[in-house]
């Protein structure tokens, strides 16, 4: 008889805070610039340099803690985590250990339509390390030498540690997805797993189903996409199961996940685990947040994804559109700006165009939603013409494209294009009769029941009127005229 | 007796004499144009050239930038501009304080070729006064030691007797001033590293309250104890230097926002009614009888000025030393981790792995005392030992602080001999680090409590200077200065000059 196992997972998620400057100095946090250009004596760990805490980073960490239902601690303490590595300039990382900023939160996830609450043990603040660039090989093994880029050193992170409440790869994924959307939406993290602005470590152990005692866990690192979260968990589950099935014991160790082979390999055993020798950093005073300061920070507490979802569904947006909007922060900011000036234009109509055509038009343009010349005001102005029936959907598309290119107002564009759509039947009938006369075979098809052929005639009429004929009116007249044949 | 002979200042005349004057006296001469900044600098460097091959106070000199500044200051003095008291005053800088473009070695092979890319906050503050840094002075490697014997380069000699040590770790700074190779100097004090060499070299040396002077740019030894402070001949000069050095620094999180008074104002007040406590634990047999005698004489002299003193008991001295040798190495073990062979430090040749590069670079770069303290500090922070050592030491530190607070409810200042002995000879303690550690027994408590403490010269024993330590309440430098200044008004020990230095 084979034992079935339950997996027990806790996740540690490192999220980079979206501050303009680093955690302990004034250097820029901008990603992707030339190596070692955002550095100073402090983040280089020069002799004699000292850290000064970034206030904005604290505010962001507090907001993240609140969004994840944590208790924000009045006093938290920065500690030195001591270890040697060439990407760590001071030989220690400034982190929080015994007294972190946030304790005891939770996050609700939805898996298979079931809501499940995942506990959050703690959130603490810490600085990031730099980056090693191994030369002559993708990894340190096999390289001739390594270079160090310290642009990332000292950028602010929060580490979010979950309770071991997760029981499947799907739950783990849902947890990270949900966390990501929250952190992005409240504006503290850009949620980019591939660029490393969110990094996930998986703590996983197995126990026979139905038992309550935890098994020995391993920590799996280097998991940097949603797909690899699931794959790494599947792989590590299988590995541990095989050991247990064969009567062996799992060794407590840190393992590295390799996406190419979908396997994990041991990085270090418990015996080799670092003794980090944490102690309070004497260069930094304890971080004390008074009630008043907390009130100030939380005064402009942002709307959470769940609240936004409710509000949007109230505006009769579709589920899928809500997902798209929650995913794309700049698009959503644009949409929100449109809502503010929407007037008679329904939110649903705005959403349809923002998520649809406008998004498609802007996709390949460098300015994007953030700085398109089709400002929310102008765009809504154009949409108002559509809603009023002054222009057709086809014209809307054309004019919108022109608006993106020129930044002209809807009125100006309309005039330039030769005016409003033709919705006067007496103007349209001669054109339609001309088209029908030229296409007798198509007319026959329609009469024999192939009503979809009418679309061809529609197209011809649109061509004749340079797209300005009102489509439903054309359709109606075609039907009427054919029925008289 | 050593090679030196004690002369009074009156033994010297002419220009040479200027190098043994106080900054305040020199300011009068500079402002009245009886003396130019360049003349003064010439005299100082002439003394360096004549004496430093024996004294060995300096690791590097800053002649070029010094003369540049002296010339530009002279133009301003010539134009009749009223410049700050410290303008044009040559100052020696301990070589663990970063000065842009200069080597900052910490007397370590590890940093032998490190050129600082930035100025410490104190350097900016001295620059703002128009002071002239003349050179970087020798110290015990990374400020760990009490004699400069732990310097990786050489041991500095005591100008009063070249066969004796100047004290440490700021021994180079103290020796430079005592020998007339600088008018004043900056040192750093983690457990007595300013006060002990000041005592050994017959100078005034002050460790301000923790947080008074920014540590930004001071290469850290033990961050919660380190404090930069001045050496000078007179308490009055120290007061001017404190005015320049003290104040909040946005680059330093532990620097205090406490208002900084004009320290020179407190000098004019007398000591009438002032209550002085003298802990009997620091007047035991282990303190040389000449030093005990000089201490009592100093107290009696202050009594004639209306101060009252009484013997008190403070049983924390022993604990302070033990606690210090847990906390300071613990912090040091982390502070010195950045010297790892990766960037600006010494790196061993031909290493074949990362681990080898680390271990060999650090093994070669750090001297034995530094290695000893890193090992000690690593041990007390290790899992399983942390609670028994580090955590317990922190608790004892709190007790020491509380003990001081209680004493200062009754007493305005606490006075002790600065050191149990006068300057010793090189090698005397090198076989027994513990004996060397105990030499700091009187000075360590002030660091533990974050208190201001100053050593002033109060006599001689066999031709070697004796220092008296005056400790005050946290952020009450004024009272400490007042006591020291009152004493100097009645004595001329601080006017004595080592004979060999003419």
- B223 close to A (CB below 8 A): yes
φ, ψ of residue A411 to 5 degrees: the values are -60, -45
pLDDT score at A324: 94
Sign of CA dihedral A147, A40, B95, B205: negative
For A355-389, write each residue's pLDDT tens digit: 999 999 999 899 999 999 999 999 999 999 899 88
Nearest CA among A112, A203, A215 for reference residue A160: A203
Is residue B193 part of the annotated active site? The answer reads yes
A370 in Cβ contact with A409 (< 8 Å):
no
Cβ-defined contact of B118 to A41 (cutoff 8 Å): yes
A12 is written with which tokens? 């540690």
Preceding amide of B169 cis, omega within 30:
yes
Asked if B148 and B166 count as a contact pair (C-beta separation under 8 A), the reply is yes
The reply to whether residue B390 touches residue A48, judged by beta carbons under 8 angstroms, is: no
Contact A232, A257 (CB under 8 A): yes
**Tens of pLDDT along A88-122?**
999 999 999 999 999 999 999 999 999 999 999 99
pLDDT tens for B224-234 read 999 999 999 99
CB-CB neighbors (< 8 A) of A44 in chain B: 343
Distance from CA of A92 to the nearest CA of B (A): 7
Residue A211, burial from CB neighbour count under 10 angstroms (0-12, 13-18, 19+): exposed
Which residue, among A25, A36, A50, would best test binding to B if mutated, counting the most B CBs under 10 Å from its CB? A50
Helices (H), B81-143: 121-129
- Give the pLDDT band of residue B5 (cuts 50, 70, 90): very low
Q: What is the tens place of the pLDDT at every residue in B430-477?
A: 777 777 777 789 999 999 999 999 999 999 999 999 999 999 999 999
What distance lies between CA B406 and its chain's CA centroid?
Answer: 27
Mean pLDDT value of segment B390-402: 97
User: How many CA atoms within 13 Å lie on the side-chain side of A291?
Assistant: 0
Closest Cβ–Cβ partner in A41, A52, A91 for B253: A52
φ and ψ at residue A223, rounded to 5 degrees: -105, 100
| Residues A280, B224 contacting (CB under 8 angstroms) | no
* Residue B16: predicted pLDDT: 57
Asked if B98's CB is within 8 angstroms of A283's CB, the reply is: no
What is the C-alpha separation between A453 and A443, in angstroms, rounded? 8
DSSP class of residue A290 equals -
Q: Give the angle subtended at the CA of B377 by the CAs of B373 and B379, to the nearest 5°.
A: 120
Point out the least confidently predicted range of A160-169, A261-270, B23-32, B187-196. Answer: A261-270
Question: Is B110 within 8 Å of chain A by CB?
Answer: no
Q: ipTM of this model?
A: 0.95
Instruction: Report yes or no: B399 at the A interface, CB cutoff 8 Å.
Output: no
Token pair 């009125």 in the structure block, residue: A411
Q: Among partner residues B222, B254, B382, which is closest to A277 by beta-carbon distance?
A: B382
Q: Among positive and negative, which fits the CA dihedral B220, B224, B229, B231?
A: negative
Judged by CB atoms closer than 8 Å, whether chains meet at B342 and A52 is answered as: no
B395 Cβ under 8 Å from any chain A Cβ: no
Give me the DSSP letters along A362-377: HTT-TTTTTS-SS-HH
Question: Lowest-pLDDT range, A28-42, A258-272, B266-280, B456-470?
Answer: A258-272
Distance, CA of A428 to CA of A423 (rounded, Å): 8
What residue of A is the nearest CA neighbor of B351? A145
Q: Determine whether A98 is exposed, middle or buried from the number of CB atoms within 10 Å of its CB (0-12, 13-18, 19+).
A: exposed
Whether residue B140 is predicted with pLDDT greater than 60 in this model: the reply is yes
Alpha-carbon span B212 to B454, nearest angstrom: 14
Domain ranges of chain A: 5-293, 305-416, 425-483
Nearest to A52 among B120, B217, B250 (CB): B250
Q: What is the mean pLDDT of residues B229-247?
A: 98
Q: Do A282 and B340 touch (CB under 8 A)?
A: no
Class level of CATH domain A425-483: mainly alpha
Catalytic status, residue B116: no
Assign B356 to helix, strand or coil.
helix
The catalytic position among B108, B151, B169, B455 is: B169
For residue B142, the chain A residue with the least C-alpha distance is A47
Among A51, A86, A278, select the one facing B253 at the smallest CB separation.
A51
- Give the pLDDT of residue A271: 67
Looking at residue A300, what is its pLDDT?
A: 87
Sheet holding B453-461, edge to edge: B58-61, B132-137, B90-94, B184-189, B227-232, B204-207, B453-461, B464-472, B413-417, B275-279, B308-312
Given an 8 Å threshold on Cβ–Cβ distance, is B253 in contact with A284? Answer: yes
Active-site residue among B94, B136, B207, B473?
B94
Q: How far apart are CA A363 and CA A357, in angstroms?
A: 10
Contacts of A53 in chain B (CB under 8 A): 253
The pLDDT score that the predictor gives to residue B6 is 42
Contact B146, B167 (CB under 8 A): yes
Give the C-alpha separation, A283 to B216, whole Å.
10
Q: What is the pLDDT of residue B318?
A: 83
Q: What is the pTM of this model?
A: 0.90
Residue of A44, A50, A278 with shortest CB distance to B251: A50
Task: Give the H or E element holding residue A219.
Answer: strand A218-223
| pLDDT value at residue B502 | 61
Judge whether B94 counts as a catalytic residue.
yes
Cβ pair A250, A206 in contact under 8 A: yes
Residue whose entry in the numeric block shows the structure tokens 């088209």:
A435
Q: What share of chain A is helix, strand, coil (3-state, %, to 5)?
A: 40, 20, 40
pLDDT at B500 > cutoff 60: yes
Task: Round to whole Å and give the CA distance between B150 and B189.
Answer: 16
CA distance A179 to A67: 10
- CB atoms B216 and A90 under 8 Å: no
Reduced to 3 states (helix: H, G, I; strand: E, B; else coil), residue B81 is coil
Nearest residue on chain B to A80, alpha-carbon basis: B334
Helical spans, DSSP H, in B192-267: 195-201, 235-245
User: What are the C-alpha distances in Å from B74 to residues B29, B69, B126, B237?
Assistant: 12, 9, 17, 21
DSSP-derived pairing of the beta strands B58-61 and B90-94: unpaired
pLDDT at residue B125, rounded to an integer: 98
Tokens of residue B486, six digits: 């009152």
Which two three-digit tokens encode residue B275?
A: 């209550």
In sequence order, what are the residues at sequence separation of 6 or more whose Cβ sits closer than 8 angstroms to the Cβ of residue A270?
A: A251, A252, A253
The DSSP element (H or E) to which A148 belongs, if any, is strand A145-149
- DSSP H helix total and E strand total for chain A: 16, 16
First-to-last C-alpha distance (Å) of chain A: 79
Angle, helices A454-464/A471-484, rounded to nearest 10 degrees: 120
Exposure string for B227-245, b = 16+ CB within 10 A, e = fewer? bbbbbbbbbbbbbbbbbbb
CB contacts < 8 A, A to B, total 102
Helix (H, G, I), strand (E, B) or coil at B498: strand
pLDDT confidence bin for A455, thresholds 50/70/90: confident
Give tens-digit pLDDT for B340-373: 999 999 999 999 889 999 999 999 999 999 999 9
B250: which chain A residues are within 8 Å (Cβ-Cβ)?
A: 52
Tens digits of residue pLDDT in A404-451: 999 999 888 888 877 777 777 777 888 888 888 888 888 888 888 777
Tokens 């505006």, residue? A315
Which of B326, B334, B353 would you mutate first to test chain A, the one with the most A CBs within 10 A? Answer: B334
Helix residue ranges per DSSP H, A143-225:
169-185
Place of tokens 């430098």: B477
pLDDT at B13 over 70: no
Chain A residues interacting with chain B (CB cutoff of 8 angstroms): 41, 44-53, 80, 82, 84, 86, 89-92, 148, 275, 277-279, 282-285
Mean pLDDT of chain B: 94
Strand ranges (E), B418-495: 453-461, 464-472
Burial of A445 (0-12, 13-18, 19+ CB in 10 A): middle
**pLDDT digit string, tens, across residues B287-333:** 999 999 999 999 999 999 999 999 999 988 889 999 999 999 999 99
Q: Which of B97, B98, B184, B179 is nearest to B143 (CA)?
A: B97
Q: Check residues A312 and A142 and name the one with the higher pLDDT.
A: A312
Between the CA atoms of B245, B248, B250 and B255, what dihedral angle is there, to the nearest 10 degrees? 90
Q: Which residues of A touch B220 (CB under 8 A)?
A: 47-48, 50, 283
Task: Characterize the bridge pairing of strands A218-223 and A5-16.
Answer: unpaired
Residues 233-292 of B with CB under 8 A from A: 250-254
Whether B97 contacts B218, CB under 8 Å = yes
On whether any CB of chain A is under 8 Å from the CB of B342, the answer is yes
Beta bridge partners of A219: A203, A254
A153-162, A407-416, B369-378, B381-390: which has the minimum mean pLDDT?
A: A407-416
In terms of DSSP bridges, do strands B132-137 and B90-94 run parallel, antiparallel, or are they unpaired? parallel
Tokens of B149: 């014997």
Q: In the structure encoding, which two tokens stand for residue B29, read together?
A: 């001469």
Distance from B253 to chain A by nearest Cα, in Å?
A: 6
SS3 at position A482: helix
């Amino acid at each position: 008889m084979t034992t079935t196992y339950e997996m027990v997972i806790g996740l540690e998620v490192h999220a980079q805070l979206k501050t303009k400057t680093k955690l302990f100095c004034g250097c820029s946090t901008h990603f992707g610039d030339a190596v070692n250009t955002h550095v100073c004596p402090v983040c280089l760990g020069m002799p004699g340099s000292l850290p000064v805490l970034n206030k904005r980073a604290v505010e962001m960490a507090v907001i993240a803690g609140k969004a994840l239902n944590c208790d924000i601690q009045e006093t938290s303490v920065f500690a030195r985590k001591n270890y040697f590595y060439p990407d760590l300039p001071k030989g220690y990382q400034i982190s929080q250990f015994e007294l972190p900023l946030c304790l005891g939160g939770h996050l609700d996830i939805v898996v298979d339509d079931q809501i499940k609450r995942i506990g959050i043990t703690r959130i603490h603040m810490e600085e990031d390390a730099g980056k090693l660039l191994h030369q002559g090989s993708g990894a340190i093994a096999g390289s001739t030498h390594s270079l160090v880029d310290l642009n990332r050193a000292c950028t602010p992170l929060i580490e979010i540690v979950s309770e071991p409440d997760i029981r499947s790869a799907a739950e783990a994924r849902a947890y990270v997805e949900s966390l990501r959307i929250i952190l992005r939406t409240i504006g503290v993290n850009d949620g980019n797993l591939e660029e490393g602005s969110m990094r996930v470590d998986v703590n996983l152990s197995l126990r026979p189903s139905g038992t309550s005692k935890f098994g020995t866990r391993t920590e799996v690192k280097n998991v940097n996409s949603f797909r690899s979260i699931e794959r790494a968990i599947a792989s590590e589950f299988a590995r541990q199961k095989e050991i247990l099935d064969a009567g062996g014991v799992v060794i407590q160790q840190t393992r590295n996940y390799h996406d190419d082979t979908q396997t994990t390999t041991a990085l270090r055993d418990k015996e080799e685990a670092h003794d980090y020798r944490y102690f309070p950093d004497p260069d930094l005073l304890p971080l004390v947040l008074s009630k008043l300061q907390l009130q100030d920070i939380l005064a402009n507490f942002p709307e959470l994804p769940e609240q936004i979802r409710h509000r949007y569904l109230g505006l009769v947006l579709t589920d899928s559109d809500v997902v798209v909007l929650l995913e794309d922060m700049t698009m959503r900011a644009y949409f929100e700006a449109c809502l503010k000036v929407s007037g008679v234009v329904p939110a649903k109509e705005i959403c349809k165009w923002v998520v649809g055509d406008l998004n498609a038009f802007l996709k390949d343009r460098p300015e994007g939603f953030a700085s398109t010349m089709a400002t929310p005001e102008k765009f809504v102005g154009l949409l108002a013409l559509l809603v009023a029936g002054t222009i057709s959907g086809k014209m809307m598309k054309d004019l919108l494209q022109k608006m993106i290119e020129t930044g002209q107002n809807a009125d100006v564009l309309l005039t330039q294009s030769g005016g409003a759509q033709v919705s006067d039947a007496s103007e349209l009938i001669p054109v339609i009769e001309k088209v029908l006369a030229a296409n007798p075979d198509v007319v026959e098809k329609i009469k024999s029941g192939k009503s979809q052929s009418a679309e061809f005639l529609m197209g011809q009429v649109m061509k004749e009127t340079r797209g300005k004929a009102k489509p439903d009116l054309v359709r109606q007249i075609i039907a009427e005229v054919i029925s008289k044949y | 007796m050593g090679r030196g002979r004690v002369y009074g200042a009156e033994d010297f005349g002419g220009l040479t004499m200027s190098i043994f004057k106080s900054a305040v006296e020199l300011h009068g001469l500079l402002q009245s144009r009886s003396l130019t900044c360049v003349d003064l600098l010439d005299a100082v460097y002439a003394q360096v050239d004549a004496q430093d091959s024996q004294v060995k106070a300096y690791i590097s000199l800053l002649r070029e930038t010094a003369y540049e500044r002296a010339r530009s200051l002279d133009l301003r003095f010539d134009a009749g501009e009223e410049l700050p008291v410290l303008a044009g005053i040559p100052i020696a800088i301990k070589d663990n304080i970063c000065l842009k473009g200069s080597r900052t070695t910490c007397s370590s092979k590890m940093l032998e070729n490190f050129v600082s890319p930035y100025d410490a906050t104190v350097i900016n503050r001295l620059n703002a006064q128009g002071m002239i840094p003349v050179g970087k002075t020798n110290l015990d490697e990374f400020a760990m030691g009490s004699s400069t014997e732990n310097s990786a380069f050489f041991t500095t000699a005591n100008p009063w007797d070249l066969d004796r040590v100047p004290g440490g770790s700021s021994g180079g700074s103290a020796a430079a001033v005592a020998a007339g190779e600088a008018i004043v100097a900056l040192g750093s004090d983690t457990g007595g590293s300013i006060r002990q060499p000041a005592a050994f070299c017959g100078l005034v040396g002050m460790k301000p309250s923790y947080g008074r002077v920014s540590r930004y740019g001071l290469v850290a030894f033990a961050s919660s104890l380190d404090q930069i402070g001045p050496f000078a001949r007179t308490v009055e000069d120290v007061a001017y230097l404190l005015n320049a050095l003290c104040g909040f620094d946005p680059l330093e999180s532990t620097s205090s926002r406490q208002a900084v008074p004009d320290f020179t104002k407190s000098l004019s007040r007398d000591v009438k009614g002032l209550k002085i406590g003298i802990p009997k634990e620091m007047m035991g047999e282990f303190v040389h009888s000449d030093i005990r005698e000089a201490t009592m004489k100093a107290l009696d002299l202050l009594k004639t000025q209306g101060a009252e003193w009484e013997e008190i008991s403070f049983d924390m001295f022993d604990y302070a030393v033990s606690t210090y040798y847990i906390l300071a190495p613990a912090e040091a073990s982390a502070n010195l981790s950045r010297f790892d062979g990766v960037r600006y430090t010494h790196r061993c040749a031909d290493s074949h792995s990362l681990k080898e590069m680390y271990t060999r670079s650090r093994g070669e770069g750090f001297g034995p005392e530094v290695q000893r303290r890193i090992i000690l500090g690593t041990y007390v922070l290790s899992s399983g030992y942390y609670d028994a050592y580090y955590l317990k030491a922190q608790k004892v530190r709190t007790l020491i602080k509380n003990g001081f607070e209680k004493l200062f409810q009754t007493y305005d200042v606490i006075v002790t001999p600065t050191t149990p002995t006068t300057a010793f000879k090189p090698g005397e303690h090198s076989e027994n680090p513990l004996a060397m550690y105990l030499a700091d027994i009187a000075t360590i408590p002030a660091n533990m409590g974050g208190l201001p403490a100053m050593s002033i010269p109060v006599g001689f024993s066999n031709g070697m200077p004796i220092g008296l330590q005056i400790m005050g309440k946290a952020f009450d430098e004024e009272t400490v200065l007042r006591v020291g200044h009152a004493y100097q008004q009645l004595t001329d020990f601080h006017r004595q000059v080592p004979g060999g230095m003419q």
